[in-house]
Amino acid sequence: AGQFIQLCCQSDKPIIYLQNTTGFIVGTEAEQAGIIKHGSKMIQAVSNATVPQITFIIGASYGAGNFAMCGRSFEPRFLFAWPNARLAVMGGEQAATVMNIVYENKMKAAGKHPDQSFMDKQHDEITGYYDEYSTALYCTGQVVDDGIIDPRQTRRLLAHLLDAQQTGI
């Protein structure tokens, strides 16, 4: 992917990103396979790109996958979201699972049994938080993107955006 981005820059072609990523795979096996090295090459290529970049968040946009696919922090020329888009560090289920694992390990280290009702409550609170604060509407309100678009209008909008960047409007 990094080489493709460099090729686009060499041939002066804009890059269109369609984000639907749950982030990079985590774990020992993924790390041994080089996910960090390969992911960082992609992120470096995105950050060094010299051509216009346009991003559409069409589904999930979680974690480092957001960076690798030219999220807001990489200042794409335009960034729009579909109504179903989700933007967060990770998905609500993943966050709740991680926090429950942390709690279980803490209890086991203290020689105590984890309280399942506490874990269920924590799970519900975390997923509820993510459900509320990772929506396209919330993110647009925080000016994370340039607006929510009807998915059926993506092609038409993309044509206008490419025309605008080409003519310098």
2-90+135-167 carries CATH number 2.60.40.2240:
no
Residue 18 and residue 136: Cα distance in Å, rounded? 15
Residue 169 and residue 164: Cα distance in Å, rounded? 5
pLDDT (tens digit, 0 to 9) for every residue of the chain, 169 residues total? 889 999 999 999 999 999 998 866 566 675 666 667 767 888 899 999 999 999 999 999 998 888 889 999 999 999 999 999 999 988 898 899 989 999 999 999 999 999 999 999 999 999 999 999 999 999 999 999 999 999 999 999 999 999 998 887 6
| Per-residue burial over 111-142, b = 16 or more CB atoms within 10 Å of its CB, e = otherwise | eeeeeeeebeebbeebbeebeeebbbeebbee
Q: Are 145 and 139 contacting, i.e. CB atoms less than 8 angstroms apart?
A: yes
Length of the chain equals 169
CB atoms within 10 A of CB 54: 21
Domain coordinates in residue numbering, the chain = 2-90+135-167, 92-133
In this predicted structure, what is the pLDDT of residue 30? 59
In this predicted structure, what is the pLDDT of residue 78? 96
Question: Which structure tokens are listed for 5?
Answer: 């981005």
